[in-house]
């Protein structure tokens, strides 16, 4: 599973960690961005509040995965969806349009990161339910 967003500093990093934890490591999760920035401190803080340490996760450019095969690629912002590269193996794609929590005013930023993490947890829970219910041959289509 590859999660993509523009900066790979918040949404995709949080999704990667949440999927890894929620699947108990059964689902391999990666993340990348089209224009990577440093990991956002509020992303680290909100995930730490959930008992997940992402402070050591590096940010990565999507080109790093240009030859990698994924079953799924999920874009998390509209900008990266428009420029998402073709990846080998024709992965299943999904688009979860989530606003950038780092783009809000300082006074509400933490709460926005919490809401983003909540939304990602919900969507990842639904995705995991789908992955465990659908037979593998159906998921690959």
5 given a catalytic annotation: yes
Catalytic residue among 2, 47, 77, 80: 77
**CATH number belonging to domain 2-139:** 3.40.50.2300
**pLDDT tens, N- to C-terminus, the chain (141 residues):** 999 998 999 999 999 999 999 999 899 999 999 999 999 999 999 999 999 999 999 999 999 998 899 999 999 988 766 776 777 788 988 999 999 999 988 899 999 999 999 999 999 999 999 888 555 554 444
* CA 7 to the chain's CA centroid: 11
30 given a catalytic annotation: no
Cα–Cα dist 128/15, whole Å: 12
User: Which DSSP string do the residues of 116-136 spell out, in sequence order?
Assistant: HHHHHHHHHHHHHHHHHHS-H
The pLDDT value given to residue 139: 46
77 given a catalytic annotation: yes
Catalytic residue among 21, 52, 84, 104: 84
- Answer whether 127's CB lies under 8 Å from 23's CB: no
CA distances from 110 to 4, 51, 115, 135 (A): 22, 16, 9, 39
What is the value of pTM for the model shown?
0.89
Domains of the chain, residue spans: 2-139
């Amino acid at each position: 599973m590859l999660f993509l967003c523009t900066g790979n500093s918040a949404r995709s990093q949080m999704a990667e960690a949440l999927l890894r934890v929620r699947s108990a490591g059964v689902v391999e999760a990666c993340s990348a961005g089209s224009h990577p920035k440093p990991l956002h401190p509020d992303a680290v803080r909100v995930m730490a509040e959930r008992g997940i340490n992402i402070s050591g996760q590096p940010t990565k450019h999507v080109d790093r995965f240009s030859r990698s095969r994924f079953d799924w690629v999920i874009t998390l912002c509209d900008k990266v969806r428009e420029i998402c590269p073709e990846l080998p193996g024709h992965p299943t794609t999904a688009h979860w349009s989530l606003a950038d929590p780092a783009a809000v005013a300082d006074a509400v930023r933490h709460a926005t990161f919490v809401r983003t993490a909540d939304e990602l947890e919900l969507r990842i829970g639904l995705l995991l339910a789908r992955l465990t219910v659908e037979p593998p041959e159906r998921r690959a289509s």
